[in-house]
Amino acid sequence: MTYRIYKEFQSALDKVGIEFQMRRKPKQESTSAPAVAGNSFMGPSVNWLRIPMYNAIFSSLSKDFGPDFFKGKLAIEIGGSEGSIVRMLQSLGANVQIAPDFPRVDIERLPYGDMSYDIIVLDQTFEHLKHPWTAVEEVRRVLKLGGVCICTSVFMYPIHHGGNYGDYYRFSPDGFRAIFEGFKIISSDGWGSAEVLKLTYGHSDSGPEGTNPITRSEAEKMGIYERTDTMNYMMTWCIAQNQRANSEQAED
């Protein structure tokens, strides 16, 4: 519909008090479904919505840093996730420590010394932080120069809080780029589509937080991993590299 025809059409509708809005159709992009299903670092209990995200993170770590970057590097996973990122880092040669589950470790006030780690993993904890910008500065302090933070969160997702932590924020890829300002952004992206939203919220009144989510094998059979769009992300992530000079970190 051209703009002239749209205006004439809307003018006619205005006379009877009806509004017509033109909305662009979400852009569909293909994903690599075979690679998603085949990566061995994802266990059978992995959340089915996270599979494309973990696959994309593994692809970025492998391609953007090269085969030897992670060998012998010291990493820490903070938050208590299900272990997919830990296993992928181990497969790349990193030595990974596991911190106590969130919120036993205060990410806004990390109990680690300056420049202690090469890699920090914050998997599905960022939305639960009251002051995520403070956490980013703590990550910057604890990371070595050139160190990498792998951070994941949610975008279109139901409220999910625990007895001792809340649910405060949602992050778009642009939001991650903004909050990690000053870092080198290696990747900031998301996965999801209108079809996935309809599926998750049609399956349960609580969406993906419902008591009977679909299984990974069901999702694969339905082909939902084959497409994504740029408007309806469920999962989002950011891989950011610390660029602050050692001398600047030492002065903080």
User: Considering all CA atoms of the chain, what is the largest pairwise distance in Å, rounded to the nearest integer?
Assistant: 71
Read off the amino acid at residue 203: H
The string of DSSP letters for 21-49 reads ---PPPPEEE--HHHHHH-TTS-TTS-GG
H or E element in which residue 152 lies = strand 143-154
Reported pTM = 0.83
pLDDT at residue 245, as a whole number: 47
**Residue-level pLDDT at 32:** 52
Taken in order of first residue, the domains within the chain and their CATH numbers are 26-251 (3.40.50.150)
Report pLDDT digits (tens) over 104-156. Answer: 999 999 999 999 999 999 999 999 999 999 999 999 999 999 999 999 999 99
- Distance (Å) of CA 159 to CA 16, 50, 165, 204, 217: 39, 17, 12, 14, 26
What pLDDT score was predicted for residue 164?
A: 87
pLDDT at 2 over 50: no
Give pLDDT, residue 249: 45
Residue 243 has pLDDT above 80, yes or no: yes
Mapping DSSP to helix (H, G, I), strand (E, B) and coil, where does residue 189 land? strand
Reported confidence tier of residue 182, pLDDT bands at 50, 70, 90: very high
What pLDDT score was predicted for residue 69?
A: 96
List alpha helices for the chain, DSSP H: 3-14, 33-38, 51-65, 84-91, 132-142, 173-179, 194-203, 216-222, 246-251
Residue located via tokens 């419902």: 210
Residues in contact with 103: Cβ distance below 8 Å, sequence separation at least 6, in sequence order: 128, 164, 165
pLDDT tens digits, one per residue of 189-211: 999 999 999 988 888 888 888 87
| Residues 6+ away with beta carbon under 8 Å from 33 | 220, 223, 225, 226
Sequence-ordered list of residues with C-beta below 8 angstroms from that of 117, at least 6 positions apart, any chain: 74, 75, 76, 142, 143, 144, 147
What are the tens digits of pLDDT across the range 143-176? 999 999 999 999 999 999 888 899 999 999 999 9
Q: Per the structure block, which two tokens stand in for 123? A: 């998997």
What are the tens digits of pLDDT across the range 21-37? 545 555 667 665 444 44
Which has the higher per-residue pLDDT, 87 or 212?
87
Position 88 pLDDT exceeds 50: yes
Structure-model confidence comparison of residues 103 and 26, the more confident one: 103
pLDDT tens digits for 12-68?
656 655 554 545 555 667 665 444 444 678 877 788 899 999 999 999 999 999 879
Between 162 and 84, name the one with better pLDDT. Answer: 84
pLDDT at 27: 60
**Per-residue model confidence (pLDDT) at position 130:** 96
